[in-house]
């Protein structure tokens, strides 16, 4: 699971070892109180020029593309992929494993559960394609 726990045969939560790494490339900014979670296996990656806003959360095994803007309080679920130049506005939530295409925009407070194509604009809860 995304929090690093699995259930045993009795239904109890047990810790799943997080053995991966975090890769932070050049010119990345991570604001105060933002969280970048270590990969379960493999790498969580923040590519060149990415900007992570205050109180944002980047889940395990996420790949944040070059020059992505992740605004304050945005939440990126484990295994998501955010394409180069995309913008994820304040308090938006991108679900585990969702792909956001290059140059796409996810609006403020959106709850995104589906992949977004390059250059698309999505907003709302649940998020819907606007253009």
Q: Which are the catalytic amino acids?
A: 60
Q: Is 91 helix (H, G, I), strand (E, B) or coil?
A: coil
Q: Which of 73, 36, 39, 81 is nearest to 53 (CA)?
A: 73
Burial-class residue 7 by CB neighbours within 10 Å (0-12, 13-18, 19+).
exposed
Element (H, E) at 121: strand 121-123
Distances (CA, A) of 108 to 6, 52, 72, 77, 100: 32, 15, 10, 16, 15
What are the tokens at 115?
């992949």
């Amino acid at each position: 699971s995304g929090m690093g726990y699995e259930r045993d045969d009795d239904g109890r939560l047990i810790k799943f070892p997080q053995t991966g790494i975090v890769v932070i490339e050049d010119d990345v900014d991570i604001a105060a109180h933002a969280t970048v979670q270590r990969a379960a296996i493999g790498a969580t990656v923040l590519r060149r020029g990415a900007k992570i806003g205050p109180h944002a959360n980047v889940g395990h095994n996420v790949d944040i593309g070059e020059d992505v803007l992740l605004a304050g309080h945005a939440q990126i679920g484990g295994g998501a992929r955010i394409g180069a130049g995309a913008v994820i506005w304040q308090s938006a939530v991108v679900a585990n494993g969702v792909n956001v295409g290059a140059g796409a925009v996810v609006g403020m407070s959106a709850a995104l559960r589906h992949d977004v194509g390059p250059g698309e604009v999505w907003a709302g809860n649940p998020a819907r394609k606007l253009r």
